[in-house]
């Protein structure tokens, strides 16, 4: 989908040599802190910004040369939902439809349907001015879906939402993702929603791609084996810890208030550990595997990156900074 996509701004690099691909029907999460380059990526992919270097192909189209054609088939929920406060919810949708050259009874009923689906029927004829952030995001989503786009870009769809509104919006996005093979690119700094929705994640930091892949695959690269939590009904004895450590395939044990967390090379090692504990008269109440969450993966990536890159800036008299690292990750 992209190769070496780069965009600089007067203040510095917005995005450096991004190379990623997205399969049709996939949900890709663009993860990263503020200023990572998520919005810049969305703008480049939808042909709103032009790259300084590199190229992209979206739906088989080049965003630079066929931007208008491409944008007719993509929908975007921007960071600020971008609704006109001085219009009603319905007027905002009608306006967006006309800008897309959509008129007539078909689009009117589509608007009606979307207002209903997004719980905005009640508010349809009131000015957007008084709407809550959650209502705005939902209306923004409805607008992004007016023309039933093949690719949906969602930029921070849950920022500024309370927990209930967040859950509603995440559920809506989940239902959109399962609709007829629509591709979704979800830019966010919230790991929770990315974990719930994304098939793959691209982690960005200061314009550079630092990881790209399925959370499971990334976890496998980061850690050896899997974690399992053993509930022993209380603090483990030294003998119990030794018994667990003695089993071959156990990499690591961490005692805690209700038992031990073990790291094992393969899942079947867990059974051996349980047998060994029972043989030592230690009751095992439960053995719960703990596959790493997207959150675990993300923080591990961040932590490792912090170790790699020195935090001190070179003195101004020093040699010029080395050229930015070029990353190319493909799956």
Partner 1 sequence: MSRQRTDWVAVRGVVGKDLRAVRRSKSVVIPMLAVPVLLMIVLPAVIGLSARATEGVGVDRLLTSIPGDLAEPILSLPEREQLIVLVNGYLLAPLFLIVPLMVSAVLAADAFAGEKERKTLESLLHSPIRARDLFVAKFLTAFLPAVAVSWLGFVAFAIVTNTIAWPVMHRMFVPTKLWMVMILWVAPAVATLGLSVMVRVSARTSTSQEANQLGGAVILPLIFLAVGQSTGLLLVDTPVAIAIGAVIWAVALVLLRGGVKRFTRDALVAQV
Ligand X SMILES: Nc1ncnc2c1ncn2[C@@H]1O[C@H](COP(=O)(O)OP(=O)(O)O)[C@@H](O)[C@H]1O
- Given candidates 12, 33, 82, 289, which one binds partner 1 under the rule CB under 8 A? 82
Query: Which tokens is 21 given?
Result: 């691909």
Count of beta carbons in the 10 Å neighbourhood of residue 275: 13
CB-nearer residue toward Mg ion: 97 or 169: 169
CB crowding 116-131: b at 16 or more within 10 Å, else e: eebebeebbeeebeeb
Specify which residues 74 forms β-bridges with. 151
Sketch the per residue contact string, 193 through 212, with Mg ion: x for CB under 5 A, - otherwise. --------------------
Sheet holding 250-256, edge to edge: 250-256, 259-264, 226-231, 286-290
List Cβ neighbours of 170 (8 Å cut-off, separation of 6 or more).
158, 193, 196, 197
* Residue 35's binding partner out of partner 1, ligand X, Mg ion, none, with CB under 5 to 8 Å set by partner kind: ligand X
Question: What is d(CA 4, CA 142) in angstroms, rounded to the nearest whole number?
Answer: 33
Where in 194-253 is the site for partner 1 (CB under 8 A)? none
Where in 33-62 is the site for partner 1 (CB under 8 A)? 43, 46-50
14 in contact with ligand X (CB under 6 A): yes
160 in contact with ligand X (CB under 6 A): no
11 in contact with partner 1 (CB under 8 A): no
Residue with tokens 């990263």, as numbered in its chain: 32
Question: Taking the complex as a whole, how short is the minimal distance between the CB of residue 36 and ligand X, in angstroms?
Answer: 4
CB-nearer residue toward partner 1: 70 or 219: 70
Where in 18-57 is the site for ligand X (CB under 6 A)? 32, 34-40
Q: What is the three-class DSSP state of 320?
A: coil
Q: Are 224 and 54 in contact (CB under 8 A)?
A: no
Beta strands 74-77 and 53-56: pairing type? unpaired
Question: Taking the complex as a whole, how short is the minimal distance between the CB of residue 293 and ligand X, in angstroms?
Answer: 22
148 in contact with partner 1 (CB under 8 A): no
CB-nearer residue toward partner 1: 79 or 302: 79
98 in contact with partner 1 (CB under 8 A): yes
289 in contact with partner 1 (CB under 8 A): no
CB-nearer residue toward partner 1: 95 or 223: 95
Question: What is d(CA 197, CA 100) in angstroms, rounded to the nearest whole number?
Answer: 28
Q: Are 129 and 85 in contact (CB under 8 A)?
A: yes
Where in 22-41 is the site for Mg ion (CB under 5 A)? 38-39
69 in contact with partner 1 (CB under 8 A): yes
The CA-based angle 159-69-203, given to 5 degrees, is 35
Question: What is d(CA 237, CA 312) in angstroms, rounded to the nearest whole number?
Answer: 44
CB-nearer residue toward ligand X: 16 or 227: 16
Question: Taking the complex as a whole, how short is the minimal distance between the CB of residue 224 and partner 1, in angstroms?
Answer: 43
Residue with tokens 């203040």, as numbered in its chain: 11
Count of beta carbons in the 10 Å neighbourhood of residue 229: 16
86 in contact with partner 1 (CB under 8 A): yes
Which residues lie near ligand X (CB under 6 A)?
Answer: 9-11, 14, 32, 34-40
List contacts with partner 1 (CB under 8 A): 9, 43, 46-50, 67-72, 74, 76, 78-87, 91, 95-101, 103, 140, 143, 153
């Amino acid at each position: 989908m992209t190769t070496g996509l780069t965009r600089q701004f007067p203040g510095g690099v917005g995005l450096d040599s991004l190379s990623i691909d997205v399969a049709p029907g996939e949900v890709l999460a663009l993860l990263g802190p503020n200023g990572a380059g998520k919005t810049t990526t969305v703008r480049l992919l939808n042909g709103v910004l032009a790259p300084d270097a590199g190229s992209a192909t979206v739906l088989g189209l080049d965003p630079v040369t066929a931007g208008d054609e491409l944008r007719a088939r993509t929908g975007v929920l921007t960071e600020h939902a971008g609704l006109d406060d001085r219009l009603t919810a319905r007027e905002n949708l009608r306006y967006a439809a006309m800008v897309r050259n959509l008129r007539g009874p078909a689009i009117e009923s589509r608007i009606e349907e979307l207002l209903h689906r997004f719980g905005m029927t009640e508010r349809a004829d009131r000015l957007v001015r008084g709407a809550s952030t959650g209502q705005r995001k939902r209306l923004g989503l409805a607008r992004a879906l007016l023309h039933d786009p093949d690719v949906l870009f969602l930029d921070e769809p849950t920022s500024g939402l309370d927990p209930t509104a967040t859950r509603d919006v995440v559920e809506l996005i989940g239902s959109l993702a399962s609709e007829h093979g629509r591709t979704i690119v979800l830019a966010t700094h919230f790991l929770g929603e990315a974990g719930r929705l994304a098939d793959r994640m691209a982690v960005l930091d200061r314009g550079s791609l630092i990881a790209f892949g399925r959370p499971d695959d990334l976890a496998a690269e980061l850690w050896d084996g899997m974690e399992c939590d053993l509930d022993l009904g209380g603090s483990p004895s030294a003998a119990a810890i030794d018994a667990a450590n003695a089993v071959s395939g156990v990499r690591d044990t961490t005692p805690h208030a209700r038992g031990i967390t073990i790291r094992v090379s393969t899942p079947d090692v867990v059974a051996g550990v349980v047998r060994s504990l029972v043989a030592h008269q230690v009751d095992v109440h439960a053995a719960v595997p703990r596959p790493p969450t997207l959150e675990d993966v993300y923080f591990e990536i961040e932590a490792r990156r912090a170790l790699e890159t020195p935090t001190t800036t070179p003195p101004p008299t020093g040699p010029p900074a080395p050229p930015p690292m070029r990353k190319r990750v493909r799956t």
